[in-house]
Copies of this chain bind each other. A is one copy, B any other.
């Protein structure tokens, strides 16, 4: 890769002049500028942005930690982020897969050493270690936590979904459809799961319905066949529920599978509501009734927020209080739920 010095040498001028010419600054004659520009183009010159990063103290780079791209949900979030960052000339993002490498704090250290200007953080799958949280404290750059929170990051800005409201919405849809015997396959290990569960309880209480504990099934190990087993147990039990609120669309898929494998039909024998509105929700039959999240907006808002914080730093304005931004959700009625008697 040719350097400024080479271009300067070829043109027979100083590096200073070459620098000015290429960056469009004044102080060079038009003739020299043209000569320099043409030589630079010929030699395919590309300025080294790492130098600029060192000089300005701004790497124009944002760290991004993801736990997993298991479906289109996280993908759409990242898409929204990149879009906004790109427009702000943060076109490059240093990404790292902390779940994959199981070395969260080492990853954070790497970010610090790469001098990323800020961090967009999908929480790790498990509760992070003390070392991780400590490293996070030491990071001292703007951080926006995305999608989920976890113990130890309450002091950071957050962008996610209205999980509580979504939990309510799902439940109220079923109640409004005449359901009383409503089960819940919930997940307490994530903040999203807890909020949705709260929403469920709130809606039940609001309508004077009793939450039957035998229909409340906790998914302890998400991603295993546990949800499927719970669903099967619920549906083949003595007193089966007429509807099931699922932690998310994948769990709802497990319910569909369990019903199918038991020879039951959805929504005739049981209604199901998911959460997320993944691509598969509208592709599967019956189409899922689900609480649609807006991952693109989540990603955009998270990136916007980070850029705001970076701007505030530059303006030396006092840091505002960390705020939680929860993007609205909405009910999408599919074919997996129905009105009953």
Residues of A within 8 A of B (CB): 1, 44, 46-51, 53-54, 59, 61, 64, 68-72, 74-75, 78-79, 82-83, 86, 91-97, 100-101, 106-107, 109-115, 138, 140, 250, 253-254, 256-257, 260-261, 279-280, 283-285
Q: Determine the distance from Cα of A46 to Cα of B139 in the docked complex, in whole angstroms.
A: 10
Q: Is the CB of B95 within 8 A of A253?
A: no
Q: What is the minimal beta-carbon distance from A78 to any residue of chain B, in angstroms?
A: 7
- Residue on B with the closest CB to A48? B115
Query: Most B CB atoms within 10 A — which of A109, A110, A138, A261?
Result: A110
Given A51-B54, A280-B280, A285-B261, does the pair A94, B92 have CB atoms closer than 8 Å? yes
Given A70-B75, A75-B70, does the pair A50, B82 have CB atoms closer than 8 Å? no
Q: Which listed residue (B59, B75, B101, B107) contacts A50, Cβ 8 A?
A: B59
Chain B residue contacts of A79, Cβ below 8 A: 68-69, 97, 100
Q: Is the CB of B101 within 8 A of A82?
A: yes
Q: Determine the distance from Cα of A233 to Cα of B205 in the docked complex, in whole angstroms.
A: 49
Q: Determine the distance from Cα of A254 to Cα of B140 in the docked complex, in whole angstroms.
A: 49
Q: Is the CB of B283 within 8 A of A254?
A: yes
Q: What is the minimal beta-carbon distance from A19 to any residue of chain B, in angstroms?
A: 15
Q: What is the minimal beta-carbon distance from A97 to any residue of chain B, in angstroms?
A: 4
Q: Which listed residue (B69, B71, B110, B138) contacts A92, Cβ 8 A?
A: B110
Q: Is the CB of A93 within 8 A of B91?
A: no
- Residue on B with the closest CB to A111? B92
Chain B residue contacts of A94, Cβ below 8 A: 61, 92-95
Chain B residue contacts of A44, Cβ below 8 A: 138
